[in-house]
Structure 1
Amino acid sequence: MFKTALIALLAAPAAWASDWVVDTDASTMTFETEAFGGPVSGEITDFEADIRLDPDAPGDGRIEARAGVASVDAGSSEFNDPLQSRAGFNPEAHPDARFVSTAISEVMDCEAEPPARCFSADGELTIRGETRPATLDFRLAIDGARATADGQLVVHRDDFGIGGSAWGDAAVDVTVNIHIEATEAP
């Protein structure tokens, strides 16, 4: 029995093995929202993702992404200081935001130009220790062993306890824009 279990364990694929290796130099994660009556945008520079996705079998896919919240930069201390405070992301207590897909499906009615295709990844988003359902919609184009994906995920900051009473003029919704370039894993 032990020998059978050991053989099964060794033959099983790695739990978080990636079919795609993210090219972090070519990939970006940005965000946009509104505060004090005007647009606010910025970038998140510390992020990574494990991606297993065959566009012809998206239901077998999985996306697990991590973003270091201390790397969120809105371009000025006026916005960065509240974001990095205890009322904001509180990076000392909760250093990462995480998205883990639970289902990926192709979206047939989309605006992608061929050969790109559209997908939707339903999953769970965890920020500040709170986990909520979230959806990452993305367009994917594959050229040989190189993939490019552009997507959006809307974060309702109130769902995660982000923002204090002084954040009254800040919009509740934040759109996270993701541009990922990846190569097929060997």
Structure 2
Amino acid sequence: MTTIDIPGYRPGTYVLDPAHSEVTFSVRHMMISKVRGTFGVKSATLTAPENPLETTVEASVDVTSVDTKDEGRDQHLRSAEFFDTENFPTMDFVSTGARAEKGELFVDGDLTIRGITKPVTFEVDFGGFGSDPWGNYKAGASAKAVINREDFGLTWNAALETGGVLVGKDVTINLDLQAALQQD
């Protein structure tokens, strides 16, 4: 079985520290620039066995918290034309595996948006481990994935007079996460 050596790795259950974690996204706007936004992380749990590549992840993002610094756009994103947060208030991820390839770490899993589940791969940049001043053992990582929003039923768009469309199909999801090892 394949394994990797991660300095400081400790098996156990890690729970997300929302004060030190962030989920952001970016998408093409008018084919000429990008709109960026954030979501609040509702919960995330990493179960880390002896072999780091057998780690499992379950996470939930509060889609109602979408913030693009434009309240009108945020309301539109919460509407039935996009996320339909009244019926689908969360975006959920459940890992299906992890792998190391050519020095890179990847986490595969199922992402659910608007009740539609599709496979997604996150490229992970592992930050490391460390103890905070209060004796909590923490892990940090960043991850990135690109999804086609239309695969998840996010199909609203508007044609532009100059050609193209208002909203691009590809959405880049970036995660900056910190989690604490739960004490027995």
Structure 2 length-normalised TM: 0.79
Does 1:90 pair with 2:84? yes
Q: Which amino acid aligns with 1:39?
A: K
Query: Structure 2: which 5+ residue stretches go unaligned?
Result: 1-11, 132-136, 160-164
Query: Structure 1: which 5+ residue stretches go unaligned?
Result: 1-17, 111-118
Q: Percent identity?
A: 29
- In the TM superposition, structure 1's runs of 4+ consecutive aligned residues that sit over 4 Å from their partners are none
Alpha-carbon distance in 1 for matches of 2:120, 2:56? 14
Alpha-carbon distance in 2 for matches of 1:107, 1:24? 29
Alpha-carbon distance in 2 for matches of 1:142, 1:107? 21
Of Structure 1 and Structure 2, the greater helix share is in 1
- Contact 1:121–1:137 (8 Å) recurs in 2: yes
- Contact 1:58–1:106 (8 Å) recurs in 2: no
- Contact 1:26–1:180 (8 Å) recurs in 2: yes
Equivalent residues in 2 for 1:45-56, closer than 5 Å? 45-54=40-49
Counterpart of 1:12 in structure 2 is none
Give the root-mean-square deviation of aligned CA atoms.
Answer: 1.8
Of Structure 1 and Structure 2, the greater strand share is in 2
Alpha-carbon distance in 1 for matches of 2:97, 2:87? 29
Alpha-carbon distance in 1 for matches of 2:14, 2:76? 35
Counterpart of 2:162 in structure 1 is none
Counterpart of 2:56 in structure 1 is 62
Q: Which amino acid aligns with 2:120?
A: A
Does 1:142 pair with 2:142? no
Q: Which amino acid aligns with 1:126?
A: T
Q: Which has the higher contact order (CA 8 A, sep 6+)?
A: 2
Distance 1:57 1:86, change over 3 A: same
User: CA offsets, 1:20-74, max 9 Å, x none?
Assistant: 12111111111111112211101112432011135x6133210011111111111
Structure 1 length-normalised TM: 0.79
- Contact 1:58–1:105 (8 Å) recurs in 2: no
Task: For residue 132 of structure 1, report the CA deviation from its aligned partner.
Answer: 0.6
Alpha-carbon distance in 1 for matches of 2:29, 2:98? 33
- Contact 2:112–2:118 (8 Å) recurs in 1: yes
Q: Secondary structure at 1:90's aligned position in 2?
A: coil
